């Protein structure tokens, strides 16, 4: 079964927002005519579809794409999130990269919309970038001996439940970590108005070389931060502590409070296999309860490139998430 699939395009990372009874899905897409799915990352745009049940979707076409050259986001407009402010305006935060830097430096952009489809950049679109005074917390420059790129991507924006402003969580890497696979981090920024952001210390560091596509939600008495990572990115310490065979997929952090302390949920990955079946999954509270929505992976030779049917999730009496 397939939830979101296009005959002429590969689909991968996705994010969701609800407006009334309608779910809006946003997803990265690239032409299958490229032949090699590894080329999709630098030939990307964002697609849009709507649904009433998270299963049957109406495709509305491309809604966002890289800016004309030269621009800070003229090569990539990767994974993001969508929120609505108090005035009813919708805000898209997304990952951008430039051709001038071979997309090795990632930054976070901002666009707005009145109809959830036609997006206009706020100014140049640039919303967030590291500055020298963040170097004590984050890897702010690209060091190819440590990682393939300068990570600052996959923004997840939400209202601050303890204040009047907004929080942004994003994929990053922590400074000063000897083992590259122990340097993955989830960064944090704070804003009073969705326009002016202050970067803070990472919410979580360790376990993996990259902690991708964070999504922070509260369910009952606990806070959860879903993320995805690859088998080759597991740290030595996490492999030893977990006792698990490394897999690729979606797992989560858990905390009693939004401010932490956060820890990697014990036990097997929530939704992990090797080779990967589903990646970059989002937790969505749908008509029939909690589900995961993610894309069919399989690697280059067997890349699916579509959003799989919702996978039901339950919260156990111990507070841990489980596949139903």
Model pLDDT for residues 193-228, shown as the tens digit of each residue: 999 999 999 999 999 999 999 999 999 999 999 999
The 10s digit of each residue's pLDDT in 77-95 is: 999 999 999 999 999 999 9
Torsion of CA 142, 148, 152, 155, to 10 degrees: 180
Please state, rounded to an integer, the average pLDDT across all residues of the chain: 97
Give the tokens for residue 55.
Answer: 């299963």
Q: Cα separation of 244 and 60, whole Å? A: 41
The residues, ordered by sequence, that sit 6+ positions from 76 with a Cβ below 8 Å of its Cβ are 41, 42, 44, 66, 95, 96, 97, 103, 106
CA distance 185 to 204: 6
Domain total in the chain: 1
Q: What is the dihedral of CA 82, 204, 102, 128, to 10 degrees?
A: 50
Query: Which burial class, exposed, middle or buried, applies to 151 when counting CB atoms under 10 A from its CB (0-12, 13-18, 19+)?
Result: buried
Euclidean distance between CA atoms 57 and 277, whole angstroms: 22
DSSP 9-57: EEEEEEEEEEETTEEEEEEEEEEGGGS-GGGGGGS-EEEEEEESSSSS-
* φ, ψ of residue 134 in degrees (nearest 5): -95, 0
DSSP state of 265: P
Cis preceding-peptide flag for 261 (omega within 30 of 0): yes
With tokens 């170097």, the residue in question is 135
Is residue 300 very low, low, confident or very high in pLDDT (cuts 50, 70, 90)?
confident
> Per the confidence metrics, is the pTM higher than 0.95?
yes
- The three-point CA angle 138-197-207 to 5° equals 30
SS3 296: strand
Q: Which residues contact 317 (CB under 8 A, 6 or more apart)?
A: none
Each residue of 113-167: pLDDT tens digit? 999 999 999 999 999 999 999 999 999 999 999 999 999 999 999 999 998 899 9
User: What are the structure tokens assigned to 156, written together?
Assistant: 């997840």
Q: Which two tokens stand for residue 286?
A: 């749908």
Q: How far apart are CA 319 and CA 324, in angstroms?
A: 14
Tokens representing 280 are 């970059």
Residue with tokens 């690239």: 30
Q: Following DSSP, what letter does each residue of 199-263 receive, concatenated?
A: EEEEEEE-SBS--EEEEEEEETTEEEEEEEE-GGGB-HHHHHHH-PPP-EEEEEEEESSTT---E
What is the pLDDT at residue 251? 98
Q: What is the pLDDT of residue 1?
A: 54
Residue 163 domain boundaries: 2-323
Q: What is the CATH number of the domain that holds 287?
A: 2.115.10.20
């Amino acid at each position: 079964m397939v939830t979101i699939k296009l005959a002429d395009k590969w689909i991968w990372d996705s994010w969701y927002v609800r407006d009334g009874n309608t779910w809006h899905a946003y997803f990265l897409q690239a032409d299958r005519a490229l032949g090699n799915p590894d080329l999709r990352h630098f030939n990307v745009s964002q697609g849009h579809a709507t649904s009433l049940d998270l299963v049957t979707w109406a495709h509305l076409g491309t809604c966002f794409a890289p800016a004309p050259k030269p621009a800070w986001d003229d090569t990539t407009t990767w994974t993001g999130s969508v929120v609505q402010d108090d005035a009813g305006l919708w805000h898209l935060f997304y990952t951008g990269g430039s051709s001038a830097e071979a997309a090795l430096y990632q930054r976070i952009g901002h666009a707005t919309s009145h109809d959830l489809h036609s997006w206009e950049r706020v100014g140049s679109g640039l919303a967030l970038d590291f500055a020298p005074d963040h170097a004590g917390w984050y890897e702010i420059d690209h060091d190819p001996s440590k990682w393939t790129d300068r990570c600052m991507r996959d923004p997840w924006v939400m209202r601050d439940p303890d204040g009047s402003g907004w929080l942004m969580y994003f994929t990053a890497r922590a400074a000063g970590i000897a083992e590259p696979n122990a340097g993955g981090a989830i960064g944090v920024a704070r804003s009073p108005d969705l326009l002016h952001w202050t970067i803070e210390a990472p919410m979580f560091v360790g376990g993996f070389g990259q902690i991708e596509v964070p999504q922070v939600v509260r369910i009952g008495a606990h806070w959860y931060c879903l993320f995805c990572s690859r088998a080759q990115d597991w740290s030595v310490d996490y492999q030893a502590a977990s006792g698990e065979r490394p897999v690729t997929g979606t797992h989560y952090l858990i905390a009693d409070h939004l401010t932490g302390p956060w820890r990697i949920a014990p036990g097997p990955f929530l939704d992990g296999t090797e080779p990967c079946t589903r990646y970059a999954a989002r937790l969505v509270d749908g008509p029939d309860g909690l589900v995961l929505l993610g894309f069919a992976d399989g690697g280059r030779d067997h890349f699916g490139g579509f959003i799989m049917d919702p996978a039901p999730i339950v919260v156990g009496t111990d507070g841990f998430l489980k596949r139903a």
